[in-house]
Chain A
Amino acid sequence: MATESHSLEFAGGNHGRRRHICAFFNSADEEHRVLRSFFKDGFDRGDKAFHLVNPELREDHLKRLAKAGINVQEMMGTGQLEVRPWQDAPLRGGRFDQETWLASFEQVLQSGPAAGYAQTRFLAHMEWALVDLPGVEDLIEFETRVNYVVPKYDDIVICAYDLSKFGASVVMDALRTHPAVIVGGLLQENPFFVPPDQFLLEIKNRRPLRRSASAAN
């Protein structure tokens, strides 16, 4: 895009309970432009970075981090940067099991302080939910349940959605399950956020009527 760099400030960690953030992008370019300081400030402050990526885009992701001035090789060597492909995380075992992944996800947040990191900056590419594997239709239920976990920690969790890949229904649900949202490169508190108790009830009520995950387009 023609506009100059607009990278969001995440430093200070003063995001209160709004640290479960949903980020909507139209391209990897936009993603890396907007999140550059989220990545870079974190490394500079000695935070842990845990990235969950599409295995096919892993090399591209690392290349973009390097271009932003991050010493990828060294960071990965020390373990400060951990880049995990989907099949070793939410899609382990060739399926999505929300209980298992919720527990593993919490372990990631817990292992940060254990290893001496003040904060973890967690980034997840969410297109694994569009892969044709059992359980991926539980994406939204998982997202709302993440709101029980994240407030227990000081970490920042960003779920990145590629708008060119998802349908409108699931993206609106993603919007409603994150207390903070990045749209158009701006981070905002989200008035459309629905607390997990209420959202789980809604999911339960809609189940016979509406199919969960991937929608039209």
Chain B
Amino acid sequence: METKNHSVQFAGGNLAGQRHICAFFNSIDEEHRVLRSFIKDGLERGEKAFHIVDPELREEHLKLLAEAGINVQETMDTGQLEVRRWQDAYLRGDHFDQNAMLALIEEVLQSADTAGYPLTRLVAHMEWALLDKPGVDNLVEYETRLNYVLPKYDDAVVCTYDLSKFGASVTMDILRTHPVVIIGGVLQENPFFVPPDQFLLEIKERRPLRRSASAAN
């Protein structure tokens, strides 16, 4: 009989109710060092692992998982580990459609549940938002809207941001759209979190004043 234990522990913290986590790293090495137990514990507990990665870092990502003692081939064969590239998730059709992506996230969480996994641990590399594609300037709006979706599920979603690539403005917005944050390898509840209703209003108000990266929208 499977015991239902949905508590999630990593990075020196224990996840309570909030499961939308933003993780700031300075390198992929730091990312894997900090997330190793999050990923490994989940697989050992029979949970689903769904990763969305930079296609150029896919091989390295798999290598680092293997180095962490994960049987990558076997877990990928059974479908327990699924590693998807940006172009098969955020950038389907070569652009970012936030509605389609929100739907995809829900689909992923629901189908894992249907397939019998007790929980999904989703990890997503977010640097696709820096590519020159239509719609990527909706990143922050998407992130805040994810806060309407995730409370419906027990699953943990970690959005990783490479600090060496992003500017400070967007990073502060990202900080403010995640109820839980990992900085310096430590997971903390985030007092700077702004609920989505309020943040969407702020985005709306700032639009004429502050230019986003692309002219689209």
Chain A interface helix/strand/loop/mixed: loop
Determine the distance from Cα of A115 to Cα of B169 in the docked complex, in whole angstroms.
39
Total interface residues on B, CB under 8 Å, equals: 31
Query: Between A and B, how many residue pairs show CB distances below 8 Å?
Result: 90
Least Cβ–Cβ distance between A196 and chain B, in angstroms: 14
When the two chains form the complex, which single residue of B164, B181, B205 contacts A215, counting CB atoms closer than 8 Å? B164
When the two chains form the complex, which single residue of B24, B165, B192, B205 contacts A188, counting CB atoms closer than 8 Å? B192
Task: Determine whether the beta carbon of A1 is less than 8 Å from that of B209.
Answer: yes
Determine the distance from Cα of A203 to Cα of B93 in the docked complex, in whole angstroms.
43
Contact with A along B145-170 (1 / 0, CB 8 A): 00000000000000001011111111
Least Cβ–Cβ distance between A53 and chain B, in angstroms: 19
**Which residues on the B side are within 8 Å of A165 (C-beta)?**
168
Q: Is B67 an interface residue (CB 8 A)?
A: no
**Which residues on the A side are within 8 Å of B205 (C-beta)?**
1-3
Task: Determine whether the beta carbon of A217 is less than 8 Å from that of B166.
Answer: yes
Least CB separation from A206: chain B residue: B26
When the two chains form the complex, which single residue of B26, B202, B210 contacts A210, counting CB atoms closer than 8 Å? B26
Task: Determine whether the beta carbon of A192 is less than 8 Å from that of B184.
Answer: yes
Least Cβ–Cβ distance between B25 and chain A, in angstroms: 10
Q: Is A142 an interface residue (CB 8 A)?
A: no
Least Cβ–Cβ distance between A52 and chain B, in angstroms: 20
**Interface set of A (CB-CB < 8 Å, partner B):** 1-3, 24, 26-27, 161, 163-172, 175-176, 181, 183-184, 186, 188-192, 194, 202, 209-210, 215-217
Q: What are 13 A-B interface contacts by the 8 Å CB criterion? A: A1-B209, A2-B205, A3-B205, A161-B168, A163-B168, A167-B167, A167-B168, A168-B170, A175-B175, A183-B192, A191-B188, A216-B167, A217-B166
